[in-house]
Amino acid sequence: MQLSESASHTPGTVRPGGRTARTRAAVRDAVLTGLAEHGYPGLTVEYVAEHSGVHKTTVYRRWGSIEGLVADALQLAGEDSWTPPDTGSLDGDLQALAREVTETFGDAPAAAAPTAFVAAAFQSRRAAEALHDFYAERFARCESVVTRAVERGEAPVGTDAAAVVRAVSAPLFFRVLITREPIGTPLADQSAAAVAAAVRAGAYLPAG
Amino acid sequence: MQLSESASHTPGTVRPGGRTARTRAAVRDAVLTGLAEHGYPGLTVEYVAEHSGVHKTTVYRRWGSIEGLVADALQLAGEDSWTPPDTGSLDGDLQALAREVTETFGDAPAAAAPTAFVAAAFQSRRAAEALHDFYAERFARCESVVTRAVERGEAPVGTDAAAVVRAVSAPLFFRVLITREPIGTPLADQSAAAVAAAVRAGAYLPAG
């Protein structure tokens, strides 16, 4: 992924190169810890500097602000090698995708970062944009699940892959982060089975 | 709805009776305005007192704290006479439910309160509990859509009504409040059609 020219001139979007990758990771870790401990409103550049061991003036110079720090931490979170499950069937892949969500949110340390980012997006437009970009890229990767299902003849040609992969996760995120209800494997499996059935019924084909 | 005895002794959960209903509504309005303007971290009892015209000492005595104010505003929001759509068909009812969500979030003033409550729930455990209770009661009302569909023979006996009514709204809330993507009528209709197809396929029957 390459930075656009304009982004490279905006403080807080500058991406340190390989030489400073360790600094960036340390700062990202401090941002995540701070968000989990204090939430976005309580996160300060002082906290990030202290917990990352990176000097405050360096943090200000490279990331500009708390908003820049959160945006960069999200961008870094998106730079992993995660690939969606490939179990050999649409049902299996959707189930595995849904179960990953319940596993993440069922594990307090793993849940802290996504929860903190979603919360920060309510406080900061820049964090909201970064979160949008993170999920857009993440769900784009997931679409291969649907592409393969179409190739195998398990899903009709023209199935709205973007909608399918979001629909599987949405009831789980909705309960954890909005209606504040418990989730678990049975709910993940139910969501996956429901979306798979809707796919087979052609409910994700373009309206017409 | 009656308050439990213990609740009536907890500051902030005392529900003013009819005589003070106007005070309560004025305070609720000030809470909503304050949440929309400043977010939960910026909301103060001083702000609520000033904008409601209710004396600060009265606000403290009756609601105890910002948490009590937010919880009571949510409880008041749940005390409406809203009933789910009754169009005569499962498809029509689910579509109408989904469209209500897109209409709420497509209208900035209408979206402000639910958005502010969801954001506050990340900051305050008490707000999260109040939000849970609000949605639990709201979705319990929605279940009549599924009950009627079962009676009409449109849905299998044993269909998980709670899951169905949440699944219809979830992809819309997910995009607006989490992935920060736009929503609209086509997406509402797609979500409704997908869930209706899954219901017909028996995907919301108990696993076994």
Q: In angstroms, what separates the C-alpha of B17 from chain A's closest C-alpha?
A: 28
Q: Which residues of chain B neighbour A71 with C-beta distances below 8 Å?
A: none
**Which residue in chain A is spatially nearest to B206 when comparing CA positions?**
A190
CB A97 within 8 A of CB A142: yes
Q: Which residues of chain A neighbour B202 with C-beta distances below 8 Å?
A: 197
Q: Which residues of chain B neighbour A178 with C-beta distances below 8 Å?
A: 118, 121, 131, 135, 173, 177
- The closest CB to that of B174, out of A166, A186, A194, belongs to A166
pLDDT digit string, tens, across residues B139-174: 999 999 999 999 999 999 999 999 999 999 999 999
Report the complex ipTM. 0.88
Which of A:96-125 have CB within 8 Å of B? 115, 118-119, 121-123
Interchain contact, B118 vs A122, CB within 8 Å: yes
Interchain contact, B198 vs A197, CB within 8 Å: yes
Per-residue pLDDT of chain A (208 residues; tens, 9 = 90+): 232 333 333 444 445 456 588 899 999 999 999 988 888 888 999 999 999 999 999 999 999 999 999 999 999 989 999 999 999 999 999 999 999 999 999 988 889 889 999 999 998 999 999 999 999 999 999 999 999 999 999 999 999 999 999 999 999 999 999 999 999 999 999 999 999 999 999 999 998 6
Q: Does B200 touch chain A (CB under 8 A)?
A: yes
pLDDT digit string, tens, across residues A5-25: 333 334 444 454 565 888 999
Q: Does B160 touch chain A (CB under 8 A)?
A: yes
Q: Does B133 touch chain A (CB under 8 A)?
A: no
Q: In angstroms, what separates the C-alpha of B19 from chain A's closest C-alpha?
A: 32
Domains of chain A: residue spans and CATH? 7-78 (1.10.10.60), 90-200 (1.10.357.10)
Interchain contact, B166 vs A174, CB within 8 Å: yes
